[in-house]
Each structure stands twice: as structure tokens, then as C-alpha cells.
Structure 1
């Protein structure tokens, strides 16, 4: 038996089970799906943690970065409406959130347009009340968290003023693994999108494979690779980096001819339930008692896990509902088949119980009537007005 999930080296899980949905012909005109794969409702769960917030360093009078005191933090954000997020959020990112006091903020989009008035509360928040410190921005909810431990009440506004955060969707990430047959020790250590247009148009949805034909030359193939596959890109590595499909990959070491690297991308639109639990586990083991950044990371991981597991539960319920609907259709079809079977049995019984003598007499009588009718028709059709003169 094939193990449905395997754990990758980075802690994520990969689905290895059968992804084929079987169909069952219920009648001559009706075919229904007879199964649902785990991938259909476990892998495609909507990910609520598709955004991030990045604190910009505070600067002193000389323009030098100040140490982070942990007074102000903004959560990574939770997608509350995928439809609004997909339609509006990306168009204005990255957004700039600036705290002007311990109770007020301003919000601007990438073009510098002030969006503060679009947010409920009009730039006013209260970090001491649940729900009063959230910013609902185009389908995403961000929380402002303030920690005034050791800060006098009179100094709280000054301690918060000037803290600035960048709010945006998480950039796509990449996973690169070397094949066991590689003869060199080269590794792909990093990747970043450098041409968004080329990346969106050309990166294969199922991943890609980089094959080195020499220490520097390479070819790129779309997954799955077969003997008849043709390269979709090629080039030469320079300064420990190679570029293909709008992405630049960092390479450590010198590859050998024949080395292959399997690439996959993650756009964070969906996340499996197992990956959600894995991310939560990694966040919870981080020491956070005296680290505000780690505490915020754990809060984000917990909130994302709750949202994603809720979505996973909804996906499972949807699959159960689909199965129930199909079973209902099968029951209806079974009732129709039973009715048809009863009608067929009645017809067969009627034919089988026929009195042959009576049926023969009735047939002869009807035949005589038919012949008489045909003869009368012939006679009548030959009559005309001249026969009456």
C-alpha cells in the first residue's frame, strides 16, 4: 500500500496517495463520482495566513536604527474574505501603517494614497479592548498589539509614535531538492521572484526540473519529465546564481553535468491541514517568554491554525455533503429502477397469463372489422356526383 503522506526534510508534508476520482454508471443516462480523494479536501484548504507585516526600523536623529523595544507589534494578518482579498488587496500593496500615538494610526497604499478613512474607526483604536485594535483592510484583518510594560502612562504616546509597518501578501516561496543521483554536492540555497510577469506566465503549475549539462550550463523542464520532454528554458549560471522563468536561484557549490534539482513553488493560497499543524508545532517550540517578536509569531501561528483548521473542517463537511447528495441521487435512481421493474413484471405477467383461445377469437374479430372497413372505404372512394345524376 502507498503511504498517503510523507514528511519532507523541511517539515512539510507531501501527498503521495491516489488522486484519481472514480466514476460509477448508475443508469444509461446517469454517471456519478464514486469516491473523493483526500487531496481534494485536505490539500486545497483555503489558507487564512497569506499576508505578513514587517516592522520598519525606528531611526534616531542621526538616521541610525534604534533597537526594537517591543512596544508595538502588528499581526501578520488573517484573510477574512478571499473574494475581497483577491479583488482589492493586491492592487494597493504594499501598505504602510504608521502609529501616530497609542490610540491612532494612518494607513497608505503603495501610491501614497491615504486609506485611513476607509477603515472602520477612521484611524482610532484601543489596544486594551478585544476587537477594538483590529484593522479590516480589503479582506484582511490585522491586529495592533501594544506592550507598555515598564512605560509610564504619560510616555505611552511618545513610545508608540513613529512605529511603521509594511502590510502585504506573502511572496511566493520555493522548495528545491536535489536528486539522489547527483554526483556533486551543489545545493540550491535560495530563490526569489525577480520578474513577476515572466514568473506568472511561465512557471509550471506542477513544478520544474533544472538539469545541468555542464558545470554552468543548464536546462529547465516542466514536471513531469518524460523522454520526450523539451526544455522550456536554458541558460548559463553566473556568480553562483541562475535565472529562469522570472526567478533567480542561488546555487552553493559547483554542479556537475547530469545534476538535477526538482523545484516547486508555494503561492500560499492554500495549505493542507498537516502543514498547518506542522507550522503551529514549529512556532510553539520557540522560546518566547521574554521575546515580544516570538510571542507575536506564536499568536500569528495560533490564529492562522485556528482559521485554517476551521476551513479544513468546512472542506470535510462539504465533501460529506457531496457524498450524501450523491447517495440521495442513487436512492432516487434505485426507486425509479424498482418502479420500472414492477411495471416490467406487470407487463410480463399480463402477457404470460393471456387466454390464447379468447385472444385468437378477439384477433379474428378485429381482423374482420378491419377488412370490412377497408372494403367500405374502397366503395365510398369510388363514388362521385355523377353517380347521383
Structure 2
């Protein structure tokens, strides 16, 4: 077979070039200790390395989210711990105010300090993180979670959203604690009310408190189904309790309806998980004569029922008119329970008299009215009745305009935030009590219920702190798992991309030898041509 000189040179050049490229590549591998520089070096290995890199990016993001969760837990726990300390001080002040030797001036001094405690707690509830976002507002991080309403009550302006962050494959963790969870679910131990129904004018002979829940299970299972109750005093030693169906349920009360009228001291009536305080205020002559005591006490009747829910309303700053809501009262508790939005409502006026009530937040494209109506009332139409609530507007006549909007927040009596609990006791302590035994009895009942609510608020915060601690532990444990996966992935990727120094040097030596051999063969064979024989 004949081989042309040109073909010989081309073949030799190609072989030399290939050998030189191999030497150069292996030399780079020895120098860098990396054997996988392009996908062409190892297509399968390159694909696996890419998968490992993507997994590493995801795991790093998971770890960053874990850091966010842990930071959030620390910040909220710091605020809640400070609130708990403030509650402890409030409990000391309330217990101190119950001292029998205290005067109105002493109680007012305690009320002044309680106001400072309330201001401190409000500031802590409205704490922000380093980015200026509110800690307890849920997803509404730019909205202060708590604000004071025109009627002096405090309401939660955030939402119940837990901001979930992925911390592992298929695992998400809340990065925040909402004010709803930490402060709004504190059980209100004083969620029932007594109302004197007979006689028509209160003569203060019998003082019966609204009661405090002492057994939640008994209250929910036995008391609530039978309310409202009627408590009627038959004599100076016996009372009778009827449930809403008229059944005599006196046997469920302590001492089966018996009480003492010998002195005005506090007496406790236990009834279906509820404890009521009874005080009897008779004259000296009546205390000493059973017949006079019977005549003075018999016929007094009280209604005992779950307290109605409350609604606080605020005007939107952008309203065309200056009209405000002067009063918002639950007038139909059943309808309120069935239709009023639990997350708050928006009242929007489409004209000067026509309105719609929507669930908050309002969206012009998707929101549908929960209730609609027209202003009513006498002597002027100044009331909007919707979902069991009557809203009263200012002005005679009322000058509402199309586009006016009002936000309504409901508060059931089943729970009460710490700010409103403090407001109630501050008001009571600032009242006149000296020389008024009835006022003193009412104050003692308020102080007892306040202690119960403060304890409930502290317990709710403790639960929120425990929840945060559990989340932090879970996130930290997952971080360890993530780091193990990162380390394993890094080791596997290094095994694919890293060069074996011994193998690479041996291969380089061989390739250099082959390059030198190809050079020598080319030199020797290039001499075997016709031109060299001329």
C-alpha cells in the first residue's frame, strides 16, 4: 500500500497534536487537582455534580430560613418575657389594692402605676425587628398589631397568618408568633353578666357579681347550654335558679340554694363551673330580725347570662365625609354569632344612606357583601343595622357620603387581651369607694376577676413562648440534618471532580513518553522519502 508524503505528514501531525493535547490536559489536572473541567470530561459525572450543586443551593437556603426562624423566636421570646414580668408587677399592684386599709388615694396611686405598666406592655406588643417590621402582626408586618379605639378599648389590627418558611424537603416552619396566638386567646374568666330584673330600681340590698369561671369544662358543658338563668331570692336564707327552659336547677348550686344574710361579707356561690360573689346589705334592725330580713330580700331577681360580644369601629382616614361612629352595639347576639365575620368587617357606603358590610380585608373585585341595608333610626336615620350589630353615626342629620368606609373589629367575651383587662381595673381603682360598701363590693369583684384574667394572660404567653421554643428546636435539629446532607454532597462532588494525584502524575509521565516517542517516530520516518534520495 502506498502512502503519500502529504498523507504521512497529516497523520503524524494529528497524532502529535492529540498526544500534545493529552499532555497539556493532564498537566493542568496535576496542577489544579481537578479532573472535571467540562461536561465532556465526564458527562455522567458532570450531570451528577450539577444535581449536587442544585441540592447544595437549596440546602443553604433552608439553613438561611432556619436562621430566620431562630432569630424570630429569640426576638418574640424576649418581648414576651418582658411582658410576663410586667404582668407580674400588675398582679402585685392589683393584690395590693385589695388591702382593706387602702383608701381611694392609695388605690389611685396603684391605678397610675398600672397605667404605666399598660403603656409598657403596649410598646412591647408593638415591638419591631431590625428591619422595622412588627413582630406580632402576622403577615401585616407594616401595621402596628395593637391600637386604641375611640372608646378606649384596645384591639388587634394584625392577622392570624403564620409566615411559613421551608427548612427541609417537605418541611415548613412558622417564622413568627402572631398577636392573635400570644395575646388574643387569653381566656376571660369573667365572661358572664348578672342583671337585676326585680325590683325595677336597684336598692342595693343584694349585690351579685357577674361571676368568674372556675371550671372551664363544667362551664362549657353545663352552664352555657342552659343560659340565660334566673336567680330569684325567696327569703333571707334561700334562692332559686331556673334555666332558660324554666327548669329548677338550684340543686347544681353550692349548698343547694342556701345562703346567709347575717352579715355583708362576701359569700361564694358555685354553679356549673362558675363562681359568683354574693353580698347582702341590710340595716342593723333587719340583720337582727329574720322577718324583716325576709321582707327586704325576697323578690330580688337577677338574670345570669353569657356577656354579649363587643364591637369597636374606626373611620377610614380617606373618607369623603367627616362622619364617625359614635356607638357600635351587639343587639342580636344570635345573628352576630352566625354572620359577623370573625376576622373583622368593613362597612362601605354606596350612597349617603345605603351600605354593605364585607368581611375584612375588602377587595373591590372579589369581596361580596355579608349584609346590606339602609340607614334607619328615630328621630333621624343615623343607624346601620348589620349582622346583629347596630352602628350609630354622628351628626343630625347624618352626612355620610358614597365611598365612606369604616372598619369594625369584634371581641367575644370568651377571651380578653391584657390591655383591656388593665383598662377595666384601672377604671375601677380610680372610682370612689371610701364610705360606700356597695362600691367596695363591686371593686372586690373586679379585682378578683382581674387576677384571674392576668393569670390567664400570663399562661397564654407562656404557651406562645413554649411554642416558639419547640419551633426553634425543630428548626435547629433540621439544620443538623441539612448540614449532613451538604457535607455528604460536597464529598461526593469532590470525589467526581477531584483528581487522584498519583494516577494523574503516572498518566502524565506516560503521555509525555508517548509524545516524545511520536516526535522521534516522526523524525525517523520523515527521512524515508524520495527527496532524501536525490
TM more than 0.5: yes
1:156 deviates by: 3.3
1:305 deviates by: 1.4
Instruction: Specify which of 301, 313, 323 is matched with residue 446 of structure 2.
Output: 301
| TM-aligned CA distance change 1:306 to 1:182, over 3 Å | farther
| Aligned equivalents of 2:265, 2:434: Cα separation in 1 | 24
1:248 deviates by: 3.7
| TM-aligned CA distance change 1:128 to 1:318, over 3 Å | farther
1:56 deviates by: 2.4
Q: Give the alignment of 1:335-374 within 5 angstroms.
A: none
Alignment TM-score, normalising by the size of structure 1: 0.75
8 Å contact 1:127–1:144 — kept in the other structure?
no
Two-structure CA RMSD over aligned residues (Å): 3.6
1:19 deviates by: 5.5
After the TM superposition, which segments of 4 or more aligned residues of structure 1 sit over 6 Å from their partners? 127-132, 337-352
Q: Give the alignment of 1:94-109 within 5 angstroms.
A: 94-109=228-243
Instruction: Specify which of 413, 417, 420 is matched with residue 272 of structure 1.
Output: 417
Q: Give the alignment of 1:190-269 within 5 angstroms.
A: 190-194=328-332, 196-228=333-365, 229-239=367-377, 240=381, 241-252=383-394, 253=396, 254-258=398-402, 259-269=404-414
> Larger RCO: Structure 1 or Structure 2 (Cα < 8 Å, ≥ 6 residues apart)?
2
1:50 deviates by: 0.8
Q: What do residues 50-100 of structure 1 show as CA deviations (whole Å, max 9, x unaligned)?
A: 100112232xxxxxx5651x2311111112233333333232222111223
Query: Which deviates more from structure 2 when the two are superposed, residues 206-215 or residues 49-58?
Result: 206-215
| TM-aligned CA distance change 1:230 to 1:111, over 3 Å | closer
Whether 1:325 aligns to 2:455 is no
Question: Comparing both structures, which one devotes a greater share of its residues to helix?
Answer: 2
| TM-aligned CA distance change 1:182 to 1:75, over 3 Å | farther
| Aligned equivalents of 1:128, 1:336: Cα separation in 2 | 71
1:45 deviates by: 0.8
8 Å contact 2:155–2:409 — kept in the other structure?
no
Alignment partner, residue 310 of structure 2: 173
| Aligned equivalents of 1:8, 1:66: Cα separation in 2 | 33
Q: What do residues 318-354 of structure 1 show as CA deviations (whole Å, max 9, x unaligned)?
A: 12222333344345546666777898999999999x9
| Aligned equivalents of 1:315, 1:128: Cα separation in 2 | 41
Instruction: Specify which of 66, 69, 86 is matched with residue 220 of structure 2.
Output: 86
| TM-aligned CA distance change 1:314 to 1:185, over 3 Å | closer
Alignment partner, residue 364 of structure 1: none
1:124 deviates by: 1.6
| Aligned equivalents of 2:173, 2:364: Cα separation in 1 | 36
1:276 deviates by: 0.8
Q: Secondary structure at the match of 2:466?
A: helix
Query: Which deviates more from structure 2 when the two are superposed, residues 328-337 or residues 35-44?
Result: 328-337
Instruction: Specify which of 298, 303, 318 is matched with residue 161 of structure 1.
Output: 298
1:27 deviates by: 3.4
| TM-aligned CA distance change 1:350 to 1:125, over 3 Å | farther
Q: Secondary structure at the match of 2:343?
A: coil
| Aligned equivalents of 1:95, 1:278: Cα separation in 2 | 29
Structure 1: unaligned runs, 5 residues or longer: 59-64, 358-389
8 Å contact 1:102–1:161 — kept in the other structure?
yes
Instruction: Specify which of 234, 254, 267 is matched with residue 133 of structure 1.
Output: 267
| Aligned equivalents of 2:406, 2:276: Cα separation in 1 | 38
1:272 deviates by: 0.7
| TM-aligned CA distance change 1:174 to 1:292, over 3 Å | farther
